[in-house]
């Protein structure tokens, strides 16, 4: 260890800590996002798959998010618990949380895999695969092989934040990067050379996920700060409850996103069928394929946003546990500023360069309706992306501070009340465009609540007194 953990997280300037922890986390999440996005790029550019394959990828994507939701609930909860425990000097509890998190991940991932394999047809139909026969066929093939990799995917994703909490953000990044790079190498081989189609894209993804999971297993056997004993792998209900509570916001933010995507996919299927152009069989899959692509760009941006915020979880947790409130306040301010800047850069990109973005996803092989709708969708759906970035940062930071209730309620309101509600309501008045309007309207209203909680949190951090020794540490490090 380069420094004593207490001195390092309690004294190092918060800006430097943010870079040290957030950058690897951003890269890890970006690389994780690339699994599905890279599949979609290669699928879109394969003439024998095209927008049908793209639509199928959009159908299956939320089903992988369900797996991710469970994984991050365990992983982020364990990360927060470990950080808080280390800050309080309770290393034994940290070890128990890690051991129990490993067991939970294995059991729940196997259960989800079985459910997916047994009920695949009904599940993909629920997420819009019935838009036409060709989309359903591609969705079923892709989903089968993706389901086989669910245990590996969930294990790698759950252990990633645990590895970061153990003080090794770079290893967490490398383990995810290794799997994604392998996926990017195998995708064109399986799709263009072997002509394996959707199966090839899925198999390449699963092989990459196996590599990431294997590296996570290796790290668990060589942990730096937290060294779980055999007894720590025995279920401990109190620790499990606390770990899952701390990770509940991460779960709800992901699982509620699934509900929103299901609503959006079904509204696209319903109101696309009423459209003069997209009501035709040969063009029916285009709106679903395009909105899926727009969501993938949004996922890239949100990976940066979440990476910055999640990378701060160990820092926030430790300093909250140690009573260093001024450092937490300084970190919160820096984070919100950085998140707003990311959102501004993304907004400029989608408003000025939508044609360039859609060209990456096989526009040359499609009709002009594909490109025109994509330009329209990018500019409307993501027009309030700055607010979306700040909202997401607020959710995660509150979670890291132990404010699970506020964070959970805000996340649920955004994704369920607004996300699902407006996706179902607005198309009644605006048709297919109503689906696109649901995103910016939801983000504007959520930001009103986020702004209140941000102001309240900063005020509380300013008002709360700190122990004398903490003030000295804060003065040295909160710059």
Total-model pTM: 0.77
Name 475's Cβ contacts closer than 8 Å, sequence gap at least 6: none
Q: How far is CA 371 from CA 243, 297, 345, 363, 378, in A?
A: 45, 15, 22, 6, 11
Please give the pLDDT value at position 7: 52
Q: Which two tokens stand for residue 431?
A: 């048709």
Give the integer Cα–Cα distance in Å for 326 and 471: 8
Give the integer Cα–Cα distance in Å for 369 and 446: 33
pLDDT in tens, the chain (479 residues): 344 444 567 778 888 888 888 887 788 778 767 776 888 889 988 888 988 998 999 899 889 989 999 999 999 899 889 988 887 888 889 999 999 999 999 999 999 999 999 999 999 999 989 988 999 999 999 999 999 999 999 999 999 989 988 888 889 889 988 998 999 999 999 999 999 999 999 999 999 999 999 999 999 999 988 889 999 999 999 999 999 988 887 787 678 778 888 899 999 999 999 999 999 988 999 999 999 899 889 988 988 998 898 888 788 878 887 788 888 888 899 999 999 999 999 999 999 999 999 998 877 778 899 999 999 999 999 999 999 999 988 988 887 787 878 887 888 888 889 989 999 999 999 999 999 999 999 999 999 999 999 998 888 888 864 554 445 444 545 45
Name 286's Cβ contacts closer than 8 Å, sequence gap at least 6: 51, 55, 272, 278, 366, 367, 369, 370, 373
Cβ 15 vs Cβ 334: under 8 Å: yes
Please give the pLDDT value at position 8: 66
**Is the CA virtual torsion 386, 390, 393, 399 positive or negative?**
negative
Please give the pLDDT value at position 164: 85
Please give the pLDDT value at position 6: 46
């Amino acid at each position: 260890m380069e420094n004593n953990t207490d001195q390092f997280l309690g004294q190092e300037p918060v800006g430097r800590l943010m870079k040290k922890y957030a950058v690897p986390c951003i890269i890890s999440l970006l690389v994780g996002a690339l699994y599905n996005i890279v599949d979609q790029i290669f699928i879109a550019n394969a003439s024998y798959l095209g927008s049908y394959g793209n639509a199928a990828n959009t159908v299956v994507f939320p089903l992988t998010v369900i797996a991710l939701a469970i994984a991050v609930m365990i992983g982020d909860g364990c990360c927060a618990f470990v950080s808080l425990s280390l800050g309080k000097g309770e290393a034994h509890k940290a070890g128990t949380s890690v051991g129990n998190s490993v067991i939970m991940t294995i059991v729940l991932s196997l259960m989800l895999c079985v459910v997916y394999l047994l009920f695949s047809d009904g599940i993909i139909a629920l997420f819009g695969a019935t838009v036409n026969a060709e989309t359903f066929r591609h969705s079923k093939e892709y989903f089968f092989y993706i389901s086989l990799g669910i245990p590996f995917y969930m294990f790698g994703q759950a252990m990633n934040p645990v590895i970061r909490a153990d003080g090794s953000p770079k290893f967490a990044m490398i383990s995810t990067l290794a799997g994604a790079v392998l996926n990017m190498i195998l995708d064109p081989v399986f799709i263009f050379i072997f002509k394996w189609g959707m199966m090839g894209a899925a198999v390449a993804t699963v092989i990459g996920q196996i590599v990431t999971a294997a590296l996570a297993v290796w790290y668990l056997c060589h942990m730096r700060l937290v060294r779980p004993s055999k007894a720590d792998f025995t279920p401990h209900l109190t620790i499990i409850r606390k770990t899952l509570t701390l990770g509940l916001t991460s779960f709800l933010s992901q699982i509620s996103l699934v509900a929103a995507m299901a609503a959006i996919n079904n509204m696209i299927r319903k109101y696309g069928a009423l459209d003069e152009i997209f009501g035709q069989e040969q063009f029916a899959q285009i709106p679903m394929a395009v909105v899926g692509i727009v969501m993938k760009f949004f996922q890239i941006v949100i990976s940066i946003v979440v990476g910055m915020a999640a990378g701060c979880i160990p820092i926030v947790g430790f300093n909250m546990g140690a009573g260093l409130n001024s450092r937490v306040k300084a970190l919160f301010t820096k984070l919100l500023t950085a998140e707003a800047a990311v959102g501004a850069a993304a907004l400029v990109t989608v408003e000025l360069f939508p044609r360039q973005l859609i060209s990456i996803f096989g526009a040359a092989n499609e009709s002009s309706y594909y490109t025109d709708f994509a330009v329209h969708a990018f500019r409307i759906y993501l027009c309030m992306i700055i607010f979306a970035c700040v909202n997401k940062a607020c959710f995660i930071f509150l979670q890291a501070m132990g404010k699970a209730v506020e964070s959970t309620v805000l996340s649920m309101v955004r994704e369920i009340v607004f996300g699902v509600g407006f996706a179902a309501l607005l198309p009644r008045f605006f048709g297919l465009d109503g689906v696109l309007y649901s995103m910016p309207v939801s983000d504007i209203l959520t930001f009103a609540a986020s702004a209140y909680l941000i102001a309240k949190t900063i005020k509380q951090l300013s008002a709360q007194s700190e122990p004398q020794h903490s003030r000295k540490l804060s003065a040295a490090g909160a710059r």
